[in-house]
Amino acid sequence: MPLSFLSVEGYRSVRSLWTRLDRVNVVLGPNGSGKTNVYRALALLVDAAHGRLARSVAREGGMPSLMWAGDHRKHECRGVVVEAAFDAFVYRLEVGVVIPGKTMFNLDPEVKQESITFAEGKRKTLLMERAGPTAWMRDDDGRRVTYPLELSSSESVLSQLRDRHRYPEVASLCERMQGWRFYHHFRTDAEAPLRQPQVGVSTHVLSATGDDLGAALQTIREVGDGPALDEAVEDAFPGSRLVVEADEMVRVAVRMRMPGIQRPLEASELSDGTVRYLCLAAALLTPRPPELLALNEPETSLHPQLLPPLGRLIARASRGSQLFVTTHSRELADAVSADTGARTIELRLVNGATTIAGARLDEEEE
C-alpha cells in the first residue's frame, strides 16, 4: 500500500485537512464539498514528479486561483502544502505565488519548500530538503551533499534530478509517483475519438482521455484477464457482448452486441454511460496495475443500475492497486464498501472550508 496518509493545506476550499488512507478509499460528498480539490491536490504530486507542475497549475487558472481565499490564522501557511506518507517515507511539497515583478509568468507556482523524510520508529532522517532554488540530499553513500545544479523555481526537485543513481531514495520515490494513474474525465460526445476507429497498438495502460479505448480493451483480451472483462460487461449489460475488431490498416473499433438487436452497435451509437463504463473497465482491468489508481466521480453519466457492477470492478482492481475514489453517490460508496470493506471519508463544507464529517476541526488541523 503506497499511501498511508494524506495532508492538504491551502488548496482552494481545503484550508487544512488530513486523513489516513487504507487499501481502498472512497471520498464521499455532495457537489461543492471539495472532493475534486482533494483529488487534484493528490494529483499535484504526480504532476510534480513528471515535471508538469507549472502547466497543471496553469490549467487550474494559475497559482492565485488555486490558493485558499478565506481568512488566515496567525502563522498559517499562505501557500499550498501537500504531504503524503509512502511506507516509511514522507514527501512534502509547498508552493506559493511568485514574487511580484520577478517574472512575466506571475501565474506560475513557486516551490517554497520541498522535503523527503525517512521515519524508522521515532527516528526521522531527512533524505532531501529544498528551500528556493537550492537543495541538498543524501547520496548513495548516505552523505549529505548539495545538489550541484540551480533548480527551476516552478518545478519540483523530483523532475529535475540528474545522475539519479547517485540519489537512489529520491529517484525511487519519484519513479513510484510517476507510476500512479489518475482518471478524471473521458470525453464521450459524438465527436470523441474513442467513438471512432483508431489506429491501434498494444496498449497495456488506457490513456487519461480514453482515446485508445479499443486498443486497451483488446490488449486486456490478449494479455490480461479477458474473462474478467467479459464478466464485467455481462454484469453491467446482461446478455451483451463486447466486440473489438480491426481493419487491414489496424484501425480498431469497439462494438457491442445487445439482446434483441440483430447487428452489433457501433461505438458512435452507444450511450455516454455505456462508453464511460467501458473506459472504467479498461482502466480498472489493466494488465499492468499501478501502485495507486485514482478515479474522480466515476459515476458521472452512469445509470444507477451500473453502480453495483462498477463497485465490483473497483473491488477487483484493489487486488493489485491501492484505490482512491471520489464520488457524490452514496450508492457507489456503499457498493464499494460492501465488496472491499473500504473506508468512506465523508466531506462537508463548513464556513467555506472542506472538512471531514464527524471530525473536530482541531483534529483535522493537528
- Residue bearing cell 507542475: 53
Question: 325 - beta bridge partners?
Answer: 26, 295
Q: Are strands 198-199 and 181-183 parallel, antiparallel or unpaired?
A: unpaired
The answer, yes or no, to whether residue 194 has pLDDT greater than 90, is yes
Residue 362: pLDDT band (50, 70, 90) is: very low
Residue 71: pLDDT band (50, 70, 90) is: confident
Phi, psi of 191 (to 5 degrees): -95, 5
Looking at residue 364, its pLDDT comes to 46
Is residue 11 helix, strand or coil?
A: strand
Is the separation of the CB atoms in 317 and 23 below 8 Å? no
- Sequence-distant (≥ 6) Cβ neighbours of residue 237 within 8 angstroms: 256, 258, 274
Phi, psi of 233 (to 5 degrees): -70, -45
Query: Residue 112 half-sphere exposure, CB side, CA atoms within 13 Å?
Result: 13
The cell for 121 is: 520508529
Looking at residue 359, its pLDDT comes to 55
CA-CA-CA-CA torsion for 104, 12, 50, 24, nearest 10 degrees? 180
Is the separation of the CB atoms in 302 and 277 below 8 Å? yes
Question: 129 - beta bridge partners?
Answer: 115, 136
Percent of the chain whose predicted confidence (pLDDT) is above 90? 83
Residue 120: pLDDT band (50, 70, 90) is: confident
